[in-house]
A and B are shown apart, each in its own frame.
Chain A
Amino acid sequence: MIAVAAEAPLLDARGLSKTFGIVEVLKDIDLSVRAGEVHAIIGENGAGKSTLMKILAGNHLPTRGEIRMDGQPVAFASPVDAEARGIVLVHQEILLAPDLSVAQNIYLGRELGRGLTVNDRAMNEGAAKAIADLGADIDPKTVVSRLSIAQRQLVQIARVLLVPHRIVIFDEPTASLTPHETEALLKVIKQIRAKGVGILYISHRLPEVKEIADRVTVLRDGRLVASHAAAELQPADMARLMVGRDVAKLYPDRHAARARETVLDVEALDVPGYAQNASFRLCKGEILGFAGLIGAGRTELMEGLVGLRPAHGTVRLNGSPAHFSDVHGSLKAGVAYLSEDRKGKGLLLTKDLRVNLTLASLGKFTSGLQIDRAKEAQALDQAIKDFDIRTGTKTILAGQLSGGNQQKLLLAKMMLLDPQVVIIDEPTRGIDIGNKEQIYKFIAALAEEGRSIIVVSSEMPELIGICDRILVMRSGRIVGEVTGEHMNENEIVGLATGVTAGEAA
């Protein structure tokens, strides 16, 4: 566990920098990994963690800087090169073929053969052993689609570890796991470490970093801001280093919400399979947060509310009953939902900004039969100004905008409908700090105008920073509400996980 100081690191990176276009996403990062240690890389979304890992795993070439292994400079043109050197990456997303068995997935692309046929028996035995090595018990013949998320995660790890490896990179492996499953996974990682493997562990869940890491490196806005032995840092220190600025400055000043009339009243809403018996009220000019772990049913609850999923229950808008069977209905009633999946569900990436901006509100731009393109162009100019969308030319495609500008465009698109209730799902996912700050300002301004806002987010600091109240969901149910001085991470984590604050820390 304690690294021998004299021992040369397995991997030593110096001055790594990466530029995409004109945006410098990584600058002068030094990083080393020794055998038998867990080196955690922490930072907010957009800090550059993923880019750094992709460089080390051979997905990207660094713009500057060098990587040495065993003292020799190396360059990885592809993940295959990195694997040949013993560096393997466990992806955050589950990349398995759901219709194949566990063993077939583990050996996918490197099947064991026997003459012309595959050797299923050998592969099943190998897979069983690989899984047993991780301290788990899964029948290798089970079809993957029947496994839980945590089990799939383990199969994915087993698949990766089949490659002879010296360094394993885990990219936010616990993002979709329950606390219990996380505990089990951390045990697995400790076992891997005990075999003398070097581990890079990316996360922004600080308590688990504190538990597992030997060293911690903090990235912020693409720069390395600190690198310490884990023993020297408490989670609170890590948080301060990650955010790095006066947190109060990142979030806009909010006037305390006065008691105002209820705009949206949801009673016992069921979204079959995802959310049960959800009841809440939203007031005029209020920002209401929805916190919870990934998979708690927050997104699905909102999708059910606006008619994107089947849902039953009572919804009252301004006192009169409302039921939305599709988004057309909810938009017409003045309830807009901005999806967390901007690229997949929010914008047409291959179309230009004008088409995207007016897509949901074309009725306002149609005179007679014809779309008024001059009016559309005018609206685009206005949106670019109002929402500070940074774009070189207006004929750029939506897919060419940065994440932050895409989010601003999506916000502008929905605001053309002048909605009374705005539901924003993960408003700042994949967005850099500067744009984040602006988006928080926009959200606060919308509330100030008298609109009612729901923010669904997995970033607790952001919810605490901008919301008036926060509802916490767990396993499809709203399990509590935090307001005022109770709006802190401990209270929220406690409710979200069902474990009391003392145990979780």
Chain B
Amino acid sequence: MSVAATDTPKAPKTSRDWDMAAIAPFIALALLLLLGYFANPNFISVANLLNVITRSAFIAIIALGATYVISSGGLDLSVGSMVAFVASLMILFMNSGTIGDPMLMLIAAMILATVLGAACGLANGLITTVGRIEPFIATLGTMGIFRGLTTWLSQGGAITLRDREMQALYRPVYFGTLAGIPIPIVIIFVTAAIAAFVLYRTRYGRHLIAVGSNEDVARYSGISVNRVRTIAYVVQGLCVAVAVILYVPRLGSTSATTGILWELQAITAVVVGGTALRGGVGRIWGTVCGAFILEIVGNIMILSNFVSEYLIGAIQGAIIIIAMLVQRLLMRR
């Protein structure tokens, strides 16, 4: 115990602020980078690392939303299907040619994706809070609905952005750079910074953590639990929309299998990042780190010849279990 009980103008920082659960993911990331270097020295090149981080953008951004939902004590299994559904509608809208000017059309399409993402999130939120259905079941249901609607929209095939001019205009959003940094990486960090600010510095963020930590205490403190939870799902929907806006220019096409198992990867990134699945603790930068770890593991598997790259799914599944075990061990101490 310290003797800091005397009046100090600022809250004293103690070692508790740096507990193991918070820094464990960053240590894991550092170890992985080292491992990657030994497996294949090309791995550590700037070009390769930028490439890997760029590819983690979709999962990282979706996982930021998942951090909100999970911190509030919820769960969203529908994000992968939601990506496919929102992206398909976005492409169909751009193909419809309702707006002549390509630039205006692109902006309108992005706004549409944002609204659709928020609406899908709102639906998830209302079903779990007002409908009082367990988040696991509610989002399992919407996962099926979004996936089914995508399959129906694409009639089992692919939905492809047809307009060449539009493709050329939209392409830099994924492939472009800003001051030499790929735009997806910029977007990861900007989104994470906003998410961190809201979670750690605003009233809503504090309420979210309170609701996830103990719903009754939140209610008895005058916090509207349902409103806080619903907004968390809307935030998740908005993150999915941002991911979609980045995803569409990459391939310019969606199908019934777009975003499959992304919910698994997003939840894995959140848990690897140190956020507790039972709620009440949210670690934004840990989540970003978790998403990087997932992508880097895949990259190392491809660059090295130790393990078949077809085992990526299995490895990612193992990572979530290992992360939970490590969390539990750190918690017990």
**A residues whose Cβ falls under 8 Å from a Cβ of B:** 308, 326-328, 330-332, 337, 339, 341, 344-351, 354-355, 359-360, 362-363, 366, 369-371, 373-374, 377, 381, 391-395, 413
B201 touching A337 by the CB < 8 A rule?
Answer: no
What 4 pairs between A and B have smallest CB-CB spacing?
A360-B221, A327-B222, A328-B222, A331-B222
Q: How far is the CB of B287 from chain A (nearest CB, A)?
A: 20
B5 touching A391 by the CB < 8 A rule?
Answer: yes
Count residues of B near A (Cβ-Cβ below 8 Å): 32
A359 touching B206 by the CB < 8 A rule?
Answer: yes
B5 touching A346 by the CB < 8 A rule?
Answer: no
A300 vs B17: C-alpha distance when bound (angstroms): 39
With A348-B210, A355-B209, A394-B4 known, 12 other A-B pairs at CB within 8 A are A308-B219, A330-B222, A339-B220, A348-B217, A355-B210, A362-B207, A370-B202, A373-B11, A374-B10, A392-B1, A393-B1, A393-B14
A371 touching B202 by the CB < 8 A rule?
Answer: yes
Q: How far is the CB of A394 from chain B (nearest CB, A)?
A: 7
- List which B85-129 residues lie within 8 A (CB) of chain A: none
A78 vs B12: C-alpha distance when bound (angstroms): 41
In the complex, which residues of chain B have a beta carbon less than 8 angstroms from the beta carbon of A328?
A: 222-224
B217 touching A346 by the CB < 8 A rule?
Answer: yes
**17 A-B pairs whose Cβ atoms sit less than 8 Å apart in the complex:** A328-B224, A332-B222, A345-B217, A345-B219, A350-B213, A350-B280, A359-B221, A359-B223, A366-B203, A369-B201, A369-B202, A370-B197, A374-B10, A393-B2, A395-B11, A395-B12, A413-B221
Is B7's beta carbon under 8 Å from chain A?
Answer: yes
A347 touching B203 by the CB < 8 A rule?
Answer: no
Closest B residue to A358 by CB, please name it: B206
Is B214's beta carbon under 8 Å from chain A?
Answer: yes
B210 touching A394 by the CB < 8 A rule?
Answer: no
B210 touching A359 by the CB < 8 A rule?
Answer: yes
Chain B 1-37, CB-CB to A under 8 Å as 1, else 0, gives 1101101011110101100000000000000000000
In the complex, which residues of chain B have a beta carbon less than 8 angstroms from the beta carbon of A371?
A: 201-203, 206
**Choice from B12, B17, B206, B221 contacting A394 with Cβ under 8 Å:** B12
Closest B residue to A339 by CB, please name it: B220
In the complex, which residues of chain B have a beta carbon less than 8 angstroms from the beta carbon of A345?
A: 214, 216-217, 219-220
Q: How far is the CB of A334 from chain B (nearest CB, A)?
A: 12
In the complex, which residues of chain A have a beta carbon less than 8 angstroms from the beta carbon of B10?
A: 374, 377
In the complex, which residues of chain A have a beta carbon less than 8 angstroms from the beta carbon of B9?
A: 374, 377
A327 touching B216 by the CB < 8 A rule?
Answer: no
A393 touching B4 by the CB < 8 A rule?
Answer: yes
Q: How far is the CB of A335 from chain B (nearest CB, A)?
A: 11
A337 vs B1: C-alpha distance when bound (angstroms): 34
In the complex, which residues of chain B have a beta carbon less than 8 angstroms from the beta carbon of A369?
A: 197, 201-202
Most chain B CB neighbours (cut-off 10 Å) among A326, A350, A362: A362
Q: How far is the CB of A321 from chain B (nearest CB, A)?
A: 20
Q: A344-B214, A344-B216, A348-B213 are in contact. Are A362 and B11 (CB under 8 A)?
A: no
B16 touching A395 by the CB < 8 A rule?
Answer: yes
**Choice from B210, B220, B223, B224 contacting A337 with Cβ under 8 Å:** B220
**Choice from A326, A332, A362 contacting B203 with Cβ under 8 Å:** A362
B222 touching A360 by the CB < 8 A rule?
Answer: yes
Q: How far is the CB of B4 from chain A (nearest CB, A)?
A: 6
Q: A350-B280, A354-B11 are in contact. Are A393 and B222 (CB under 8 A)?
A: no
Q: How far is the CB of A349 from chain B (nearest CB, A)?
A: 8
A350 vs B222: C-alpha distance when bound (angstroms): 19
In the complex, which residues of chain A have a beta carbon less than 8 angstroms from the beta carbon of B1?
A: 392-393
